[in-house]
C-alpha cells in the first residue's frame, strides 16, 4: 500500500505560510521585538549554565553523601517489609469496617443488587 495515495495534497498557499515560518521570513510581530541582542542571549546562557551547575553540584553532593551510607546500611528490604505490613494492616482495618452488617458499603451494595436483581414489578 502506498501511503501517498491516502494523503490529500495541501494547496500551495497553505505550504507557503508554513515554509516562510520555517525559514524565518514571516512576520515576527508575534515574537516581540525580534532577535534578542547578543548580550541578552549570552546572559540567558550564563544564567542557565550557572543554574544547571548549581543543580549538578547539589546532585553530586547528594550522591557522594548518600551512596556510601546506602551501600553500608541497605534499607530497601526492611522498608519494603514495613510497607507490606502497613498495607496489610490498613487492608484488614478497611475489611473490618466494611464487613459490619450496618456499614455504608453493605448498604450501597444492597441497593445496587436490589435495583438490578429484584424481581420485576407487575
Outline where the chain has alpha helix (H): 12-23, 38-72, 76-99, 104-117
Angstrom distance (rounded) from CA 53 to CA 59 = 10
Q: List average pLDDT for each run of 10 residues in the chain, which is 122 residues long.
A: 56 61 54 57 80 91 83 84 96 90 88 86 72
Is the pTM value of this prediction over 0.75?
A: no
Q: Which residue, chain included where needed, has cell 540567558?
A: 44
- pLDDT for position 26: 45
What pLDDT is attached to residue 83? Answer: 95
Amino acid at each position: 500500500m502506498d501511503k501517498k495515495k491516502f494523503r490529500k495534497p495541501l494547496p500551495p498557499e497553505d505550504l507557503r505560510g508554513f515554509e516562510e515560518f520555517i525559514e524565518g521570513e514571516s512576520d515576527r510581530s508575534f515574537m516581540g521585538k525580534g532577535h534578542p541582542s547578543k548580550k541578552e542571549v549570552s546572559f540567558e546562557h550564563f544564567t542557565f549554565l550557572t543554574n544547571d551547575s548549581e543543580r549538578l553540584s547539589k546532585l553530586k553532593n547528594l550522591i557522594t553523601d548518600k551512596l556510601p551510607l546506602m551501600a553500608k546500611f541497605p534499607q530497601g528490604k526492611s522498608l519494603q517489609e514495613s510497607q507490606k505490613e502497613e498495607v496489610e494492616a490498613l487492608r484488614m482495618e478497611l475489611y473490618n469496617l466494611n464487613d459490619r452488617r450496618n456499614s455504608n458499603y453493605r448498604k450501597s451494595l444492597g441497593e445496587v443488587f436490589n435495583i438490578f436483581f429484584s424481581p420485576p414489578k407487575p
